[in-house]
Amino acid sequence: MTVIRLLAELHDAGIRFGLNADRIRLEPTRGPISPPIVQRIADHKPEAVALLSSAEGDALRTLFDLAIDEGLPAATVAALSERDLRACADLPRDTLRAYLRVLARSQRMAAGIAPDGWRRAAECSGCGPVLLWPQAPD
């Protein structure tokens, strides 16, 4: 199990995480933390501490926290590359929140899921039938 997948599992369980010196801090948002999750964290503590103490890890923690707030799946954040995480490192929380919303929307669209309200059918000469937002130009 990679550390990012472990952090994604924490996210999906509603657990916020952070670093206090060399200790991993966990804050459950829904119910207690299960013993198997605690054991997996202990098993991967050195890698988790190394990641969380980096600029990329700080951005990752913030993005996972925001994803919990936005009700977005862990996969939205876990799909980011190290380069993406570095680019997010110094951005304000409001910018990161907007980035996550757009990223999640793009991921859903790539999976063939139309955004809410996109019900107007049209024919694209390059890609065939598409759904558009209500005020889309003809």
Residue 131 banded pLDDT, cuts 50, 70, 90: confident
Print the SS3 string covering 74-93.
HHHHHCCCHHHHHHHCCCCH
Query: Three-state SS for 116?
Result: coil
Tell me the residue type at 82.
E
| pLDDT tens profile 14-47 | 888 888 888 898 999 888 999 998 899 999 999 9
Give the integer Cα–Cα distance in Å for 11 and 15. Answer: 5
Give the integer Cα–Cα distance in Å for 53 and 48. Answer: 8
Give the integer Cα–Cα distance in Å for 27 and 14. Answer: 9
pLDDT of residue 103: 93
pTM of the model: 0.73
Query: Three-state SS for 95?
Result: helix
| pLDDT tens profile 52-107 | 888 888 888 899 889 988 989 888 898 888 899 889 988 999 999 999 999 999 98
Q: Tell me how far CA of residue 69 lies from CA of 16, 34, 50, 56, 82, in angstroms.
A: 10, 21, 25, 20, 23
pLDDT of residue 46: 93
pLDDT of residue 101: 93
| pLDDT tens profile 121-130 | 888 889 888 8
pLDDT of residue 1: 52
